[in-house]
Every structure is written in C-alpha cells, then in structure tokens.
Structure 1
Amino acid sequence: MTENVWNYDETTARQQGIDLRGFKVEAVDGAIGKVDKHSDEAGSAWIVVDTGVWIFGKEVLLPAGTIARIDVDEERIHVNRTKEQIKNAPEFHREKHLDNPDYHDELAAYYLPGTPFGGPF
C-alpha cells in the first residue's frame, strides 16, 4: 500500500526524460519552492524541494503520489497538498533520509489516503 504514494499518477502528465530540477513547486495554497533533485524510479519516485525562505531554507521530500500535475511549458509542478501539510511532514535531512527505507515508510504513512494529511483532494 505504501508503494502507491511513491508512483506518479497517470494524470500528472509526467514525461520521461524531462529534468525537473529548477521547476517551481506549488501547493494548493501557494508556492513552496523549487525542485533541487528528483527520482523517477518505479515504486520510489520523489522530488526534493528547496523551500528557500518559506521554511527557513529547509528541504522537503515529496513522494510522486503527492504531485497532481506537471506543466513542462511553465516549468511548474502542482502538488495536491497544502503548505501546512507539507510543513508538518516528518522532517527531512538529505544525508540521513534520501535513501532511507524507514523514512520513506514514515513519509508514506503521513501522506497516504485516509490519514489526516493524505489525499487526494
């Protein structure tokens, strides 16, 4: 069940081979930052968002299942979560959490449908 949150939904318009680094990321209630890194690995797809000053320069890891739409022409990614939901997600430290399966499980549980911050909206 946690795998679904780590895959792109077919409605996102994700095109293989497009580098998402630098794309702006929009929550349902406003901008949250830019993509710094991403993975398209099946069952483990995600984006790392540099939030800039929004949450004091921290990064957040968003599973691909939180992405509602990717606009390649505008270089913008729309996620189906609020800024508050993203801000309250388990804290992310790149060196410690990027490839950590326990952290991925914790994050998946946070964002899964049926949980307080799960979608879809």
Structure 2
Amino acid sequence: MKNIWAYPADVGYQGHEALTGFTVETPDGTLGQVERQMHEPGRQHLIVDTSVWVFGKSLLVPAGIVRAVDTAARTVTVTRTRDEIKAAPHFSFDSQTTEVAYLTEVGTYYATLGQPAAV
C-alpha cells in the first residue's frame, strides 16, 4: 500500500501551502471544509469540518487519499466516498492526531478498503 500519510506524488502538492477553508470533495459529494492540517512528514493529514452534512463533526483525512488540490478553486478532491471516510476510526479533538496507536488504526482501516474505484 502507498503511504497513507503523504500526499501522492501525482497530486503535485506536498503539504506546505495552507489548505484551511478549502472545500473537500469526494466522488459522491461535498465532505466539508478543511479546518486544519498536519504538515509533519509521515503524518500528513487534514481535519475536515463536516457540518455541511454531519452536524458538528470533524473527520481526519489522511493525505494519501487526496487525488487533487486545486488552489484556484480552493478545493481538495479525495478518492474515498463520504461513507468510507465517515466509517474510519472516530476522530476527537480530545485525542492527539499524532498518537501512534490512533494513526495506526486509521492507516489499517484505509488499507482494508483496497483500491478506490476509478473516477
């Protein structure tokens, strides 16, 4: 499996430009807006506010599922559906997004999904 905690090389984005406020799009609709992001190599991810469709919830989105970043349109497109992302291990602001056990659990979850459907 590719590194789930790094942006794919073909995306052309390495995680250095701020994506806060960008809209996150999935193959089946809008997931929400980037609330914050982690730039640290090997732990790159986005925290997405999903209040657009799940009241008051934030989700962790690993950089490895990003398909495209469009800075002009202020969008991040991911390879997984809203339901797949929603079913990932529970994210809480009370827990550290840098905790190895939590990140391992998230990485294992996405590895069990296999390859995303062609878009």
Taking structure 1 as the reference length, the TM-score comes to 0.88
- Structure 1: gaps of 5 or more residues: none
| Structure 1 residue 16 displacement after superposition | 5.3
- Alignment partners' CA distance in 1, 2:95 and 2:37: 16
Give the match for residue 49 of structure 1: 48
Give the match for residue 9 of structure 1: 8
Per-residue CA deviations over 1:60-95 (Å, capped at 9, x if unaligned) read: 001100101101110000000001101111110022
Per-residue CA deviations over 1:78-121 (Å, capped at 9, x if unaligned) read: 00000110111111002214221101000000112xx1x24343
Aligned mate of 1:119, from 90, 99, 115? 115
Following TM superposition, where does structure 1 have runs of at least 4 consecutive aligned residues deviating by more than 2 angstroms? Answer: 117-121
- Alignment partners' CA distance in 2, 1:17 and 1:62: 16
1:77-116 mapped onto 2 (5 Å cutoff) = 77-112=76-111, 115=112
Taking structure 2 as the reference length, the TM-score comes to 0.90
Count matched residues: 117
- Alignment partners' CA distance in 1, 2:67 and 2:35: 18
- Structure 2: gaps of 5 or more residues: none
| Structure 1 residue 8 displacement after superposition | 0.7
Change (3 A) 1:108 1:87: same
Give the match for residue 37 of structure 2: 38
Give the match for residue 28 of structure 1: 27
**Matched residues, percent identical?**
38
Give the match for residue 75 of structure 2: 76
Give the superposed CA RMSD: 1.6
Q: 3-state SS of the aligned residue for 1:37?
A: strand
- Alignment partners' CA distance in 1, 2:56 and 2:80: 19
CA contact (8 A) 1:111 1:119 kept: no
CA contact (8 A) 2:6 2:64 kept: yes
